[in-house]
Amino acid sequence: MQLWNKLNKEELEVQLRDIGHQYMTLSFYQYAQIPNPHLFRDHLFLMWSKLEVVGRTYVANEGINAQIAVPTKNISEFREELYQIKFLNGIRLNFAVDESEAEFAFLKLKIKVRDKILADGLNDKTFDVTEKGKHLNAEEFNTLTNDPETLLIDFRNHYESEVGYFKGAVRPDVDTFRDSLPLIEKEILKGNEDKNIVMYCTGGIRCEKASAWFKHRGFQNVHQLEGGIIKYARDVIEQGIENKFKGKNFVFDERRGERITDEIIAVCHLCGDPADTHTNCLNSACHLLFIQCETCKEKLDNCCSKKCQDISHLSIEEQKELRKGLNNSNQIFKKGRANHLTYKNKD
């Protein structure tokens, strides 16, 4: 059996429709010592292919980070086989709050071996990522963040917190997790050593490493929201407690967001109307991630500018010719910071 998938996006969509499965989107992570991540990767690929799992997973010596979708009929078998892996036995699975934002959250199974499951820019061999801060459940999180002596920090990137965040949170204007660690220590934590530090992210993986890092750096009262926004959103509903999150939770799959509350706190990057739907520009040479309202989406055919719209109307061969020698990775990486986003950059 081959250990990778070679179909393109269109072929994958047709294949998934023909199969007709109902999927449950979930995520999990675990920091652990994996001596041979390549062997472990192949084991997972064979096991999950058999269960028709799709999604994206990273494996490294430091652990595993998975964002996947499992056919509903195979959930029990998936959980049983996953829990047979010693360091994953009993691992918490974060199930999606809202499955309605896209037809398929993922189109194929991708499992990649990386140097780290979460790039952090750190090079300190004395740092132990398992020495994490205290986990808080939803009720404990609400109680502690009501305390004026608590510092609540959003550990996500600027384009994530733009569409949704917890009330009272400090939201650093950063592009990556590796950017956030030095900036937060220098500009937010310095001088607040005696305060309770509470951090949150999408599913917990960034806060887990950050809490361990800041404990390593000498901060004492370090806490993190267990299971991140995904688990919190489910728990407040099930437990009937106050929901302190407002807006949408950005997620890294085809849905690009889970609706947590009806509040729309962001605006279209092109016209300024209320909007919180992220889209990728239809022009393959651009593919910029930005926020677009339905009116601008219809006007520009899902593109970020008239220029990209014109290019998207060309033949595939003409588009390929225009892309030769171009490298737009820096623009794509900036996610919503491109200079031509008229309203976003009006100041």
In the chain the domains, ranked by start, together with CATH numbers, are 9-113 (3.30.70.100), 134-239 (3.40.250.10), 266-347 (no CATH)
Task: Supply the pLDDT for residue 316.
Answer: 86
Q: What is the CA 146 to chain-centroid distance, rounded?
A: 26
Tokens 């036995």 map to which residue? 89
Mean pLDDT, each 10-residue run in order, the chain (347 residues): 56 58 88 94 95 94 94 95 96 79 70 93 88 95 96 95 96 91 93 92 93 93 95 95 96 86 95 94 89 96 94 88 66 68 66
Task: Supply the pLDDT for residue 287.
Answer: 87
Residues annotated as part of the active site = 201
Task: Supply the pLDDT for residue 79.
Answer: 96
Summarize pLDDT for 280-334 with one digit per residue, the tens.
999 988 889 999 999 999 999 999 999 999 999 998 888 888 877 666 554 554 6
Helices 177-184 & 205-216 angle (0-180, nearest 10)? 30
Task: Supply the pLDDT for residue 9.
Answer: 58
Task: Supply the pLDDT for residue 317.
Answer: 87
Summarize pLDDT for 259-269 with one digit per residue, the tens.
999 999 999 99
Beta-carbon contacts of 300 under 8 Å, excluding residues fewer than 6 positions away, are: 270, 292, 306, 308, 309
pTM comes to 0.81
Task: Supply the pLDDT for residue 345.
Answer: 58
Each residue of 71-103: b (16+ CB within 10 Å) or e? beebbeebeebbeebeebeebebbebbebebee
Task: Supply the pLDDT for residue 1.
Answer: 47
Summarize pLDDT for 112-141 with one digit per residue, the tens.
999 999 989 998 889 988 889 999 999 999
